[in-house]
Structure 1
Amino acid sequence: MKVKVKDIAKAAGVSPTTVSLVLNNRPSRIAEDTKEHILRVAREMQFQKESEIDFSEFKKVKTLGMVVPDVMSSFYHRLAEETSRHAFYQEYTVFQCYTNDDIQCFYMAVEGLMAKNVDGIIIIPPRTMDKENVKLLKSLQKSGVPMVLLDRAAYAVFCDFVTADNKHGGRIATEYLIKHGHNGIGCLVGEANVYTSRKRVEGYREALAAAKIPFDKDLVYYGNYDIESGRAGMEILWEKGVTAVVAGNDLMAYGVYLFAKEHHLSIPGDLSVIGYDNTELCGLMDVPLTSVDQNTDTMASKAVEVLLRRIEEPAADEPEPARNYYFTPYVVERDSVGVMNQSSAKRSEMR
């Protein structure tokens, strides 16, 4: 039974008016020990003060869900922020779930958002998408909840997909290093089964082929898109004679910087580096990092636009087919890429 002011007044041996003044912290001449007594009785009776806001006046709150794989990634953090901002402009609130690329967390996040009856869901899939994960996403589609995949594709899941052109990004990053005279170019990316990794390596290979530079699979290192992967990968690639490296993201690039510092190498004198994502980290490094920008704001805006169109479109026997939306990344120049010098040229010839 809900505890009322008069119940507290009876238990405390005071008037309902006195209780009301104390609970609402109104000015009065009530003695401090009486106030403490009333508050203690209220706590013991588990009194819950009613909100002063009349929520009945509000329209139905429109909500979206968003599943994000990595809370530590500046890129995903910014992508989530931009998505929420664009949704807010359209009077939608976004519930964000960070899964740390954990499959169990991914399951719980999707099921939790469905239980909350959100109007639509934006999903950045985890790195590992097995048959069970695909089955979950297909079940989500069958439930009728509109869904958009963002940044990463999911094999055999056909729905609207918004991403940067990762192949183009890998290509322009590699071309930028080639333009500066490098031909011993390594590539650091995430796991081989991740969509963004595969596409960026494809772009890397295309740029090498266009410049008539032989592709060497041993110069591609597959890691985890984290700092330690960048450092460990660079250790291996340096032994193979590379003079420049395309890093899969700015965190991996930072790992390259740590390797260079440990081995007393100069960036860009001894080693040129280009990152990916153009995060705030680029300007914080000792040598500002040249990086590929993925057009994060545009991607977020399009994901919200496409999802809201699915939510608000009238029911139809033949709905509009799912589409892929690609956005063109571009290089943001800073100071981490230099022209290949003589010592670097000799290293490259030693390969």
Structure 2
Amino acid sequence: MDRMGDSTADPTPKVGAVRRTRSPAGTVRLAEVAAIAGVSEATVSRVLNRKYGVSASTREQVERALKEIGYERAVKGEIVLLLVPALKGPIFAAMCTAIESELNPHGLRAVICPVVPGSVVERDYIEVMLDAGIAAVVFLSSSNTLRNADPVARQLLESRGIPYMSVNGAFADSRTPVVSTDDWQAAEIAVSHLYDLGHRRIGMCAGPVGNTPADRRVEGFLEAMDSRGLSDAEDLVVRHHFSVDGGRHAADELLPLGVTAIVASSDDMALGAIRAATRRGLEVPKDLSVIGYDDSYMLDFTDPPLTTVRQPVESLAESCVRTIVTLIQNRAVQATEALIDPELRLRQSTGPAPV
């Protein structure tokens, strides 16, 4: 007797959805899985094809039965949804391209969905794509970066047994894998570089409060300043949007405070800080050093070329896809956050502190 009472489900299961790892040519025998799990064949079919109408506990029973007899989900030809902020930022375009490249050898294809983090657009994309056979979802600097984000999008995935993970920020109330750039280390790298150049009055153009990467970079900045005995660092942090205008407005507040260097939470903010400095008749890096965060090839062509802390895009993509494939194959992964070290990219926007 089916414990979920869903015997009216589609009686013609898509048995090609999984394969036996011990015998690649074989396919799932629904009766065998149903007997082990103590459910109907229709319920097994619904779990395999990620249909509605199966409780979380019953779904787990079926998944355990599949694992017990040595089956794993096939991944060829399935879709991975990438939920990402607008692609006008080079860093997000680079990450999506890198993830897509890593997915291809596994027979997976990325569908890129630009969203406003935490908005209903995330939920709408997921609802539209649920019946298109998505294999997994990656929250790439979307609602996973926000405190108290609406959980509806994740709940939809969980109700269908579709795995998901996050990049650059974890959901506080979800035990799913995460891979992130080490934002604390990024701030340490930036401060260390400027300190070695003789700067002692270092300000920060930080991202908005409540954004996980922005908050972490501020924490790292304050720790780095404190470890070097630089007092009043909290007074030299200005929070604003991740944009050129945000960086300009933040720098307009910092420059009257006598800073000789600025650490920015994004390259856009760094370029905005340079704009604010030049409008005041200051030269970069003669009068003010500026260091950004993210990195792209276009920074070689700014005036001056921008020194930045580079996010390790390729390593992030590799780790992300390795985790996604493991989740799709219903194999265990650690629900922890893996931190990947960033690196300094020296260009010409930083120099010795003015005498």
Does the TM-score normalized on the shorter chain lie above 0.5? yes
CA distance in structure 2 between the partners assigned to 1:246 and 1:129 by the alignment: 22
CA displacement at 1:175 relative to structure 2: 1.1
- Higher alpha-carbon deviation: 270-279 or 148-157: 148-157
Residues in 2 aligned to 1:268 and 1:213: alpha-carbon distance in whole angstroms? 21
- Residues in 2 aligned to 1:320 and 1:306: alpha-carbon distance in whole angstroms: 7
2:101 — aligned with what? 85
Alignment gaps of 5+ in structure 1: 1-58, 343-351
State, as a whole percentage, how many aligned pairs show the same letter: 24
Whole-angstrom CA distance in 1 between matches of 2:158 and 2:76: 24
Q: Which residue of 2 aligns with 1:184?
A: 201
2-structure distance, mates of 1:229, 1:132: 23
Structure whose CA Rg is larger: 1
Aligned to 2:352: 339
Output the CA distance in 2 between the equivalents of 1:129 and 1:269: 37
Tell me the residue number matched to 1:287: 304
Report SS of the residue matched to 1:122: strand
Partner residue in 1 for 2:136: 120
How far did residue 67 of structure 1 move?
Answer: 0.5
Which of 326, 336, 342 pairs up with 1:323?
A: 336
Distance 1:131 1:116 in 2: 29
Q: Tell me whether 215-224 or 179-188 shows the greater mean CA deviation.
A: 215-224
Q: Is the 8 A contact 2:145 2:168 kept in 1?
A: no
How far residue 135 of structure 1 moved from its aligned partner, in angstroms, is 4.2
Residue 72 (1) aligns with residue 85 (2): no
How far off is 1:101 after superposition? 3.3
Q: Distance in 2 between matches of 1:141 and 1:115?
A: 14
* 2:251 is the alignment partner of 1:234: yes
Paired AA for residue 251 in structure 1? D
Greater shift after overlay, 266-275 or 321-330?
A: 321-330
Q: Deviation of residue 232 (structure 1)? A: 0.6
Paired residues in the alignment total 280
Q: Deviation at 1:161? A: 0.2
Map Cα deviations across residues 108-163 of structure 1 (whole Å, 9 max, x no partner): 12222323220111112238746562243244234210111011222212201011
Q: Per the alignment, do residues 334 and 132 of structure 1 end up closer, same or farther by CA in structure 2, a change over 3 Å counting?
A: closer
Give the AA of the match of 1:334.
Answer: R
- Residue 320 of structure 1 deviates from its aligned partner by 4.0
Deviates most, 118-127 or 243-252 = 118-127
Q: Which residue does 2:313 correspond to in 1?
A: 296
Write the distance in 2 (CA, Å) between the matches of 1:64 and 1:181. 47
Most deviating of 72-81 and 121-130: 121-130
TM-score normalised by the chain length of structure 2: 0.75
Which position in structure 1 is the counterpart of 2:276?
A: 259
Q: How does 1:1-351 map to 2 (within 5 A)?
A: 61-101=77-117, 103-124=119-140, 125-126=142-143, 129=146, 131=148, 133-313=150-330, 319-342=332-355
Moved more, 135-144 or 216-225: 135-144
Which segments of 5 or more consecutive residues in structure 2 lack a partner in the other structure? 1-74
2-structure distance, mates of 1:147, 1:94: 13
1:174–1:207 contact (8 Å) kept in structure 2: yes
Decide whether aligned partners of structure 1 residues 127 and 162 sit closer, same or farther in structure 2, where only a CA change above 3 A counts.
Answer: closer
The TM-score with structure 1 as length reference comes to 0.76
